[in-house]
A = this chain, B = another copy of it.
Amino acid sequence: MAATLHFYFDFASPYGYFAAHEIEALAARHARDVEWHPVLLGALWKSTGITPLVKVPRKGEYARHDWDRIARLTGVEYHEPAAFPIATQAAARAFIAARRVDRVGAVKLALALYRAYFAQGRDISVADTVLDVCADQGWDRATMAASITDPAIKDALKDEVALADGHGVFGSPFVIVDGEPFWGWDRLPMVERWLARGGF
């Protein structure tokens, strides 16, 4: 059995959003399973001193232009949210709670949360909005409301971030497969070549 592909993402990351639309199909073409790992970039960047992209002169403008053209290129709807970036703890905790119950349903929920934020202009830093999205996706709202404040789920997210940090993850999206790290939406073709060739 070939090793699982690990997909690290932050719910406030536009490049993570675009990659989230491609990663399952990419892995499936090479008979790999995907494990989705929500992370908090702010926490990961504390240990590296990395500055958020949009705050760097030139790079920030370039990235905003880039997100719009990736949307045109891929056909994935994207509108820069009014509040950006945002805290993504609520969304990440909802995903983790969902993943414990139903892996496939959790991936659908992740895409729905991403779309709520980047295509529908909904602020998923607000727990109520996250719960609305969960309910839309068929999750029990009251159960999910309890989950996202459950200390066990909070700890599970902290563990995810610590684990990502331990694996050297410093951006979103970040793929690790066969121990090999790939940072960025624009490296998905390289991930695909890695999987096709069995390494290089």
Contact = CB atoms under 8 A, between A and B. Distances in A.
Contact of A65 (B59, B181, B186): B181
Quick one: copies of this chain in the complex? 2
Contacts of A72: 200
B61 A56 contact: no
A186 to B, nearest CB: 5
A183 interface: yes
Interface string A63-75: 0010001001100
Contacts of A186: 184, 186-187, 190
Contacts of A184: 186
Interface residues of A, number: 26
Nearest to A183: B62
Given A72-B200, A184-B186, A187-B186, A58 B62 contact: no
Contacts of A57: 47-49
A15 interface: no
A93 to B, nearest CB: 25
Interface of A: 47-50, 56-59, 61-62, 65, 69, 72-73, 168, 170, 180-181, 183-184, 186-187, 189-190, 193, 200
